[in-house]
Every structure is written in structure tokens, then in C-alpha cells.
Chain A
Amino acid sequence: MSFRIAPVAVLSAVLAVVPCTGRADPPPRGSPFSEWFKSVQVKSGPSSGELPHTLDGAVSGYLDGRVADAEAVVKSLATEKPKDESYPLYQLTLGSISLCQGDYQAVQRSLTAALERMGAKLSTTATGLAFINAETKRPYRGFPYEKMLAHTYLGLAFMQQSRSEDARIEFAQAREAQRGSAAGQEDDFATGHFLEGLNFLHRKEYNDAQVSFRKVTELHKEWPLGWFALCRASDLAHDAGEAGEAWSHYEALAPAGARLARDGSTPCVLFLVESGRGPHRWASGHDAQGARDPKAGASNSNDNSKVDLTLAEWKPTDSPEIRVSIACSDTAKVEAPKLDDLYFQASTSGGIVGEATRKLVGGLIHSFFSGDKSSKDGSKNNDKNKDQSKDQNKDDENVDLRSWGTTPGALHLAAVPVPAVPTTIETTCSDKSGNNIESLRRVMRFLRGQPFERAPIVYERIPPNAASRAGG
């Protein structure tokens, strides 16, 4: 057959990409922490060499602490390639970086753009055309846990700008995006529930706050701060019974020296700390480093007549467990416990059946067109072209392993009693054996505590594999 379908398919794929809608936002406003974060990251990160102008390059740069360099790369990718199939990943990454720098309006811009693209309903034609492409060339639609995290960060960004109504909506959307099953709950993302409860407290909607904090205590019965928050919300809602019960749990769990006053008057600062690297997708039959196993899948890849049914599965990434402690000068350390492990939140849209169906249908359509092409080439003999076609096909048939590379592995939360006057706070991290990681010791000055309901929230990121990077 002399008809060449490949150019049409490429053209179709380009046209199938959902156009990005522009937004006009006011100029970004920096937070008081942004300069501090930048200085820390510049100190901790390697200083030489340009990052590769790719998403992978930017992500690895970010995880190495080169936040400003990573931001420059991702910003230019997002600007230059708004119709790229991986565009949402650029925006999600940019959102992470902006959050790290405390630029909440930029977080809002990036994450809204990413969520719009991931949530846009594709028409039947667009879906059909997307299936002509290999998996890795289809528009990136994201995973439920990514949407959940993006909505949560958006909510946090709104909260930090005192836009509690918008924050409430984002936290509700985060709940809807992820209806987890790992812990047997309808939605089991405790950090999201806690932040939502806090936002309800800001809005003086105490009954709703009670509901959110109750979910937190159901998910983490041994976490004192959850009980304290429930006690505060119940007291404010004039629910003496629940407040009393929550307070007795708090008293039993929290060490006497680090307790907050029941009336919420103890000034404190809330720390939301991310650690490690988030869940990643690996192709089944490939080694843990993500390199393609030459024995697995290779035969399928080189045979145009077969559809490579290799699927991807979620695996936690290697990063030593890190304990995070925070202390005000001369006071006892407060542990920031791990509230959520993002690996347990990771799942594939439609489950394994959905992925297999998409893989099968996409593979069949793709191999039909590829098969046409190779038979035509085969009739013209030349082995060189055939080999190139095989190599190309091998690349095309790779399992789609794209995911949000800057997702944290775990989220830690703690309320640290801090005087209402400018105070210095130190955060320290230790590895599994309890040894302090000196490179991750951070000092923050001029922080003032506020009563629990109005406590400032400090967001901090601890890069993955910090212990090994610091020399063990």
C-alpha cells in the first residue's frame, strides 16, 4: 500500500492536544520565607554545570537543591512547549518549586494550569487520535494521587493568601480526586483533612472543622496534634463531650513539656515538611533502577506483529527514612511525625483493568499502522530501513512511566510552641539509626508564634536520599 499514514497520525496527534487557555494574573508576591529557602538551597546544592534543558534535568536539579536552576528550565519548557503532551508535568513541577520558594500566586497559576489540562474532557475523536500514538506520546492525564496533591497544594496556597473560601473548595476537590482504599477509608489523606479542618477554623465553621479533625483522628489514633485540633474545634463548637474526650487522648499522648494549652492560647507555628521522593512507576519486568531489562519485553518490542503488553506498577523509591525534629532555641525537640506516605496513595486511573484495556486497544491500533509501514518497507527490501523502523518502534512501545517527579514520598506535620516574639527555630533530620544529618540542619530566624487557630504554616522540603548525599 503506497499510502503513508504516519504523517497523518503525527498531524492528528498535534491537533488532538487540548489547547491551553491563557490566564492573566497579578504579579507574584514573595513570602517572607522565600529568600531564606533560596539561600538554603543555594548553599546545599552543587553550584556548577548547567542543567539539561529537559524535564528530567530540571527534576533532578530540583531534588539536588538547585531550585533556581530547575525553575529556569521548567519555566522555559512551560513557555516554549504549551502544546507538549507532557505540559501538565512542567506545570506541576513549576508549582512544587514555587511552593518551595513561597511564591503562592505562582503556585496558583501553575497548578491551576496543570489541573485544567489534566481534567479537560477529551472528545471521542481526540481520544481516538491519541490512541494512534504510543503511550508515551499521549497527552498526560495525571494520576488520582497527583490531582489530590495538586489540589491540596493549591488549597495551601490559597490559605496562605487568606483566601479561605477558595482554599475550602480546593481541599474538597482534593478529597474527591482521591478516594483511597489502602486504609479502608473513603478518603484517607490525613494531611488534606487536617489542612481542611484548619481552614474551617479560620472560617469559624467549627462543626465542619470537627468533622475534618475527627477523620484525622480516625486515620491516626496515636497522633496527639489531631486530638488537640479536634478538642479546639469541639470547644469552639460548644461540644463539651467531644472536646473532653479529645483532650484526654491528647493528654495521654503528648509529652507534658510540649503540650499546647487547651484554650489554644499557646503561641505556635505549624510545620508541613515533605521528605523523600514520591512513588514512581516502573515497567513490570524491569529492574528497580528503571533500566529496561534486555530479556524482558525486548522480543515483543522488536516484533511489530505483537503488542507489547508490559504494564507499569507503582513502587516506593529508595530513600532512607528520615525523622524530622524541630526545636525552638533551648526547648525540647518536637518530632514531626509522618502523616501520609504518598506511595500508598498512588494508583492508576481505572485500575489495572483500565490500564490493560488502554494498553491493548492502543497497542493494537498502533501496531496496525506500524505493521502497514513495515510491510511496505519490507517489500522494498532494505534491511537498514527495517532496523531503523524496529528501533523506532522499540522506543514508541516503551511503557508510559511519566509521573510527577517532584512529588514527596512522605508528609510530616507538627505544631511547635514558639513564643510570640521573634524567635530562632532549628529543624534537624536524622536517619533511620537516629544519627543527625548535619547538611539538613536548618535555622530559621524571626519566626513568631500565634495561637493555634491563627498559627502560621511553614512549608519545608527535605530532598530525597539526603543521608547518602551528605556522606552517610
Chain B
Amino acid sequence: MTNPVRNRLPAGLLVVAVTSLCSCSGSSVYVPTASVTQTGTFSDTDMRMMATAMYASLQKRLAAIAPTDSVKPPVVALVHLNNKTSEHIDTDAIADKLQIEMMKAGSLRFVDRSKLQEVSKEYDLGGSGMINPETAKKAGNVTGADFLLTGDIGSIVKSSGREQINFYRLSMRLVSVETDELVWADDFELKKSSTKGILDW
């Protein structure tokens, strides 16, 4: 006599196998950019959190040093954020996001110092006679910066058994060019824990 449970077992196993295999199949969908990415390492969510926190803090400080009713907001030159972590993090993306938010709010003006060589070449070209004198730009009108915005991102990674702790710290500073005074500084810290599975290898 056949056992009905035994007869149904293969079919049941097949369903389970197919379901698990379907869950393994690749797919690609749009997800909201604000959705949280949970990883043990640096992620887009961390980048957004850091830029948002720095924006809020800097905006608050600017109310004191450059009131919103001032005709011309102060000019800031953004200096490359140093990456002192052990991950390939695009620190310029954090600075870029902060810069865009500040410009949207109209509280700061920015000058780009990363393309000065190219700008200088353009001036040289203007003086070479090749460029229409009416459209050629004259040297000597580059806007000077009132402040330098700079910072570092560092990390400490500690592993103990299956657990790994990743600690990230972004610190940013606004320095007055005229007086070298530190007019604003703040930091943002993140601590992430990840655990390896017992069987992970």
C-alpha cells in the first residue's frame, strides 16, 4: 500500500525548490532614492544622512554670520574632502550634495577652484587673438572666496569573531580666508554592525 504523504513529498519539495529558485532569479527595478540601504559598509543612505546633517548645521550657523537679508551671500570655495577610511568612498559626492542644497537655499555662493587651470587657458586663448575681442574675457575678475569649506571622513573598523563594527565620522569646517578663523565646525558619526552567519565562509 502506498503512503499518500510519501507520494506527495516530491511534489512538495518541487514547489519549495521552485519558489526558492524564483527568489534567486535576477531582477532590476526602480526604488525610491530615499529608501534605506542596509549594509555593513558605507552606502548611499549614509552619504545622504551626512550631507543632510551638515546642511542643517551649517544653515543654522549661517544665520548668525551671514543673515538671510544680506544682499550678497558669502562666497565659499569648496576644498576636497579627505577620505581617511579604508573604503573607496566618493567624498566629492557628499560635498557636492551639500553644495547643491546650500545653493538651492540661496544662503551661500560657491566658486569652483578645481578648474582654475582650464579657466587660465581660456584667458590665454582670449589674449592670443584667436577669440573675438568682444566675447573674450579679461583676467582679473575671478571672485575671491570669503570662506573655505573643508573636511575629512574617517573610519575605524573592528572585527571580533563573526561581528564587525564599522565606525564612520565626517567632520567639516568653515574657515574664514581673511582671518583664518574657524567660524563653523561640526561632525556626524555613524556606527554600523554586521554579523557573519555561522556557516558563511
Contacts and interface: CB of A to CB of B under 8 A. Distances in A.
A296 B9 CA distance: 37
Interface in B14-62: 14, 17, 20-21, 23-26
A291 interface: no
B199 interface: yes
B104 interface: no
Interface in A113-156: 121-129, 131, 141
Interface in B152-197: 157, 159, 197
Contacts of B159: 176, 179
A52 interface: no
Contacts of B88: 166, 169
Q: Which residue among A16, A131, A176 has the maximum number of chain B CB atoms within 10 Å of its CB? A: A176
B85 interface: yes
B87 interface: yes
Interface string A141-185: 100000000000000000000000110010011011001000000
B197 A124 contact: yes
Given A122-B200, A125-B20, A125-B24, A176 B13 contact: no
Contacts of B129: none
B26 to A, nearest CB: 7
B144 to A, nearest CB: 27
Contacts of A446: none
Contacts of B199: 127, 131, 357-358, 361
A45 interface: no
For chain B, give the interface size range.
Answer: 20 to 34
Interface string A61-98: 00000000000000000000000000000000000000
Interface string B77-95: 0000001011110000000
Interface string A342-364: 00000001100010011001000
B200 A127 contact: yes
21 contacts: A2-B10, A3-B9, A3-B10, A3-B14, A12-B21, A16-B24, A121-B200, A124-B197, A125-B20, A127-B197, A128-B20, A169-B83, A169-B85, A169-B87, A172-B85, A176-B86, A349-B201, A354-B201, A357-B199, A358-B201, A361-B199
Interface of A: 1-3, 5, 8, 11-12, 15-16, 19, 121-129, 131, 141, 165-166, 169, 172-173, 175-176, 179, 349-350, 354, 357-358, 361
Contacts of B23: 125
A121 to B, nearest CB: 8
Contacts, number: 61
A124 B26 CA distance: 16
A11 B25 CA distance: 12
A438 to B, nearest CB: 44
Contacts of A358: 199, 201
Contacts of B198: 357
**Shortest Cβ-Cβ A-B pairs, 7 listed:** A3-B10, A172-B86, A15-B24, A8-B17, A141-B201, A173-B86, A349-B201
Given A125-B20, A173-B86, A357-B198, A15 B25 contact: yes
B17 A12 contact: yes
Contacts of B201: 141, 349-350, 354, 358
Contacts of A16: 24
A119 to B, nearest CB: 10
B26 A19 contact: yes
A166 B6 CA distance: 59
Nearest to A138: B201
Given A15-B21, A125-B23, A8 B14 contact: yes
Contacts of B9: 1, 3
A3 B20 contact: no
A339 to B, nearest CB: 22
A317 B59 CA distance: 63
Contacts of B26: 19
Contacts of A128: 20
A238 to B, nearest CB: 21
A137 to B, nearest CB: 14
A12 B14 CA distance: 12
Contact of A129 (B20, B83, B157, B200): B20
Interface in B120-134: none
Nearest to A119: B41
Contacts of A179: 159
Nearest to B11: A3
Q: Which residue among B6, B10, B20 has the maximum number of chain A CB atoms within 10 Å of its CB? A: B20
A125 B21 CA distance: 9
B15 to A, nearest CB: 11
Given A3-B9, A5-B13, 16 more contacts: A1-B9, A3-B10, A11-B21, A15-B21, A125-B20, A126-B24, A127-B197, A127-B200, A141-B201, A169-B88, A172-B85, A175-B86, A176-B86, A354-B201, A357-B199, A358-B201
A129 B10 CA distance: 18
